[in-house]
Structures are given as C-alpha cells and as structure tokens.
A and B are shown apart, each in its own frame.
Chain A
C-alpha cells in the first residue's frame, strides 16, 4: 500500500492530501485514486461534475514554420484539417504501425501546435519527435510537461460551474475547441475535451496557480454538487465509454486499425511514420480486434484474463471493471481477427464466449461500444 519514494508529486498533492485522498502510483506520479468512494465520484461526473488532477499528462509543443509538416509526419490523422483553436484526436505510430501514443493535438496557429500526451508516454514521445524531426529546419520541440498543471472538470454541469469564474463565453466554446483566457488573473488554456464521455473542460495552467484554480472551481461547483474525483473514477468512466487507455488497449505492438481507430488514420494525407505498415495491414487484414464484452455470469474480468470460445483461447482482456452506471461487469480486450464480431449483433449473442477468471469460465456476450449511452435530455 505504501507508495514508492520515487513517485513525483503534482502541484496539487497537498490539496489532495488535505481532502483525504488515497493515493496511487500512476505514470510515475503519486495521484489520487479516490477521495471518498469511487462510485460516488463516478456518479458525480455522470450527473453533476467532478474535478480531476491529471497533471501527470504531458504537453509537448512543436513550433516553427515547419510545424504543420512536422505534425503531419508524426501523426496519423490529417492535421491540415485543423483550424486555429481546434483540437484533434490523433495517434503517434512507429514505423511498424504500432502506437507510440494516442494524443490530442492542439493548433494554436500554423506555426505552433501542442500535444497532450499520456503521462507514461511523454518521455518516449519527446525523444521520438526529437529524433525523427531533427532534419526539419528551425523546428523547436519542447517538453512543457513539468511547467504545467492539468485539471479536468467533467460532467453535465461543468459549463455552469466554470462560467461563474471565467470571462470567456463558454457556450461559444465548441467540443474539441480551446481558448486562452484568464481565471482570476491566471492565464489558462481551456479546451472542451475530456475522457469521461461527459461534457467538460480541460485546463492547462502554470504549476504555481494550480492550487488557487482548483479551489476556485471547487468553490464555484459547491452549489452544483461537484466532487473531486480520482483516477479510479476516471478509469471506470472511460471504460463505460469504451475509450482505450494507453498501456492497456494501446501499445507499440498494437495498430490503430486493430484498436478500431481507423477513422483517426488518414491514408490520403502525405507520408507519416507507420503509413506503409498500416496500408499493408489494411490490404492484408489485422491480426486482432478490439472488442467489448459484458459478463452474463458474476465476477469481474480483469486485464490479462483469457477470452475463450468453444473451449479455445481466442484473446485476452485488456481492461475490465464493474460499471457503476450499468451495475454490471464490463471489459475491453482483443480477440483473433477471424473471431471478431460479425455485422449482426444477434448472431454475436448466440456465440458461446467466456472469460477465465481465477480458473473458472464465466459467460460473456460481445457488445457494441460505448457500453454506456447517455440518455437523451427530454
């Protein structure tokens, strides 16, 4: 239970500690796993709002007249489609088409982009950019991660909470857009992005302002029932949406096509790292496919559990949890491509698929992602 001494602390560590957080090690940081109960935090985000410290995430910028060209080379999505102030989900692949990281790209202007990268990937992404882009003239690659804190405000009431303390008109800020503004004099970048399936914002701000802004948002959200939320809830929220997590569903041995992320790969744009490997994979077919399963029997399938069909191992679970909203066990995993979901959900239901949990087989059913669909507001 004790955290390793090597773990770094975010600039909000003392704030979390004072709130009674239980910490866990993640991506080299000591981060709140939960403050009270995971389910309560999860529910707060689905119904009202939750505030997350995600300062373990990294920020890497590409600046210079060749910034767009550089970005196109190291990403799979078409960055030329991005306008100033817009974000784009994209992937950074190696030459074999394996995923080095999945990331959100921000375009400040045509000579200035930055990536929000996963905490566990930021060092290798930085080195990859430096190495692969070294011949591009006047291109500056900067790892800004240690200067910045990153806070995510997520949930249907996020706009009302943040608008109270923010001068910019947030109703004008569309999904996957961002703006530079000030919160009580603090310079922040606010993007309408997130990892929970709910409306919400992510705020990039200097470390020394993090505590003040965190407390300001908590105070503003008090009347709306905001809760600080930990990594535990962040994980159950993203799993309910079927979002991949780097290190679980994505790694350098897995391609975007296998992870059902083809729509974030532009084969029409110019060359990029991994393109020819991915084109080959497109022609010849993938080896495995990401699938979503729900357990019919009791138990929770965790990462590493075998997935079986007709007594034969056909794949492995990569993430699994108990969904607080659906109140049943859900999991993501990969199965051999020739066993992948058919086009017909009814046929999938008839298949006898199971997972192995502690030596026992438990029946599961293949389902479509997301597991959780938000009810339409009436």
Chain B
C-alpha cells in the first residue's frame, strides 16, 4: 500500500496535493484497492463548485459504486478527462495519472484540517 508524503489526506480516503497555488485531488491507494477494478468515473464540469465533505462525483468498480467526497471547497479549474475514458488508471496510478480535479480553493484554511501521512496511515490501520 502506498502512502506518499507529498500529499494530505482525508478520512474519506481522498488525497490533496498543492500545485501552482491550486490543489489537485484524487483517491488514495487504499481507496482504489478497496474498490477493486474501477470501470466508471463521473466527474463534475470545469467551472462548477465543490464543497468540502460533499459528493462531487462517483467512482464505480465492477462490484460497487462509491461517492467521491470533496476534501476541500472551491471551483473546478480542470477535470481529468483521461480517466473518464480509462478509469482503470485509478487502480494503477491513484496518486499520479489518476488525479481527478484541479481546484481553486475558496478557503485555504481548510488545508489545515487535512490529515498528514502519518495520521492517515494510523487511521487506515485502525479501520482494518
């Protein structure tokens, strides 16, 4: 299981990486592993807004459907259309190629509420 330390995490198994004054978000290795083979992703449109702890999309594996929860609030700057076409990338590269959205934060203080890699690791261990 991969837990990179250049991202922050949430208890909904999302990750957040700061990039060029905005943030990029995705789901964690643990999340993709729990889901199994991802076959479908539904993402919001560019320019739409997302709200922390609210769903912004859906990811489906062969077996189950799962909501995507926004780790932060803001405006969607970019949508990773490539994973809509090739959702299996989420299983292979959850922290890299398979980013979901690039977001302009509406409240940068929300970043302070995210989990560090150690906190997230501990949370995952406790969940199992």
Partners in one complex: yes
- Report A's interface with B, CB cutoff 8 A: 1, 33-34, 37-39, 232, 235-236, 298-300, 302, 321-322, 324, 329, 358
Known A-B contacts: A38-B36, A299-B40, A322-B62. Give 17 more (CB < 8 A): A34-B36, A37-B36, A37-B37, A37-B91, A38-B37, A38-B63, A39-B37, A39-B62, A232-B62, A299-B42, A300-B40, A302-B65, A322-B39, A322-B40, A324-B62, A329-B40, A358-B58
Interface centre among B34, B40, B62, B91 (most CB of A within 10 A): B62
Instruction: Give the residues in chain B near A302, CB-CB below 8 Å.
Output: 65
Instruction: Give the residues in chain B near A34, CB-CB below 8 Å.
Output: 36
Complex partner residue of A300 from B36, B60, B91, CB under 8 angstroms: B60
Q: How many residues of B contact A (CB 8 A)?
A: 14
- Report B's interface with A, CB cutoff 8 A: 34, 36-37, 39-40, 42, 58, 60-63, 65, 91, 127
Instruction: Give the residues in chain B near A298, CB-CB below 8 Å.
Output: 40
Interface centre among B36, B40, B58, B127 (most CB of A within 10 A): B36
Distance (whole angstroms) from the CB of A298 to the closest CB of chain B? 6
A-side binding surface: helix, strand, loop or mixed?
mixed
Q: Which 10 A-B pairs have the closest CB atoms?
A: A322-B39, A39-B37, A322-B62, A232-B63, A38-B62, A38-B36, A300-B60, A38-B37, A37-B37, A300-B40
Which residue of chain A lies nearest to B37 when distances are taken between CB atoms in the complex? A39
In the bound assembly, the distance between CA atoms of A22 and B40 in angstroms comes to 22
How many A-B pairs have beta carbons closer than 8 Å: the answer is 38
Interface pair A236/B127, CB less than 8 Å apart: no
Instruction: Give the residues in chain A near B91, CB-CB below 8 Å.
Output: 37
Instruction: Give the residues in chain B near A321, CB-CB below 8 Å.
Output: 62-63
In the bound assembly, the distance between CA atoms of A41 and B109 in angstroms comes to 45
18 A-B pairs (CB sep. < 8 Å) = A1-B34, A33-B63, A34-B36, A37-B36, A37-B91, A38-B36, A298-B40, A299-B40, A299-B42, A299-B60, A300-B39, A300-B40, A300-B60, A300-B65, A321-B63, A322-B39, A324-B37, A329-B40
Instruction: Give the residues in chain B near A324, CB-CB below 8 Å.
Output: 37, 62
In the bound assembly, the distance between CA atoms of A33 and B34 in angstroms comes to 11
In the bound assembly, the distance between CA atoms of A33 and B39 in angstroms comes to 17
Which residue of chain B lies nearest to A33 when distances are taken between CB atoms in the complex? B63
Instruction: Give the residues in chain A near B60, CB-CB below 8 Å.
Output: 299-300, 322
Distance (whole angstroms) from the CB of A254 to the closest CB of chain B? 24
In the bound assembly, the distance between CA atoms of A38 and B63 in angstroms comes to 8
Which residue of chain A lies nearest to B33 when distances are taken between CB atoms in the complex? A22
Distance (whole angstroms) from the CB of B123 to the closest CB of chain A? 13
Interface pair B37/A1, CB less than 8 Å apart: no
Instruction: Give the residues in chain A near B42, CB-CB below 8 Å.
Output: 299
In the bound assembly, the distance between CA atoms of A38 and B38 in angstroms comes to 10
In the bound assembly, the distance between CA atoms of A1 and B30 in angstroms comes to 13
In the bound assembly, the distance between CA atoms of A15 and B77 in angstroms comes to 49
In the bound assembly, the distance between CA atoms of A298 and B81 in angstroms comes to 14
Instruction: Give the residues in chain A near B127, CB-CB below 8 Å.
Output: 1
In the bound assembly, the distance between CA atoms of A70 and B21 in angstroms comes to 76
Interface centre among A235, A298, A324, A358 (most CB of B within 10 A): A298
Instruction: Give the residues in chain B near A236, CB-CB below 8 Å.
Output: 62
In the bound assembly, the distance between CA atoms of A302 and B39 in angstroms comes to 14
Instruction: Give the residues in chain B near A39, CB-CB below 8 Å.
Output: 37, 62
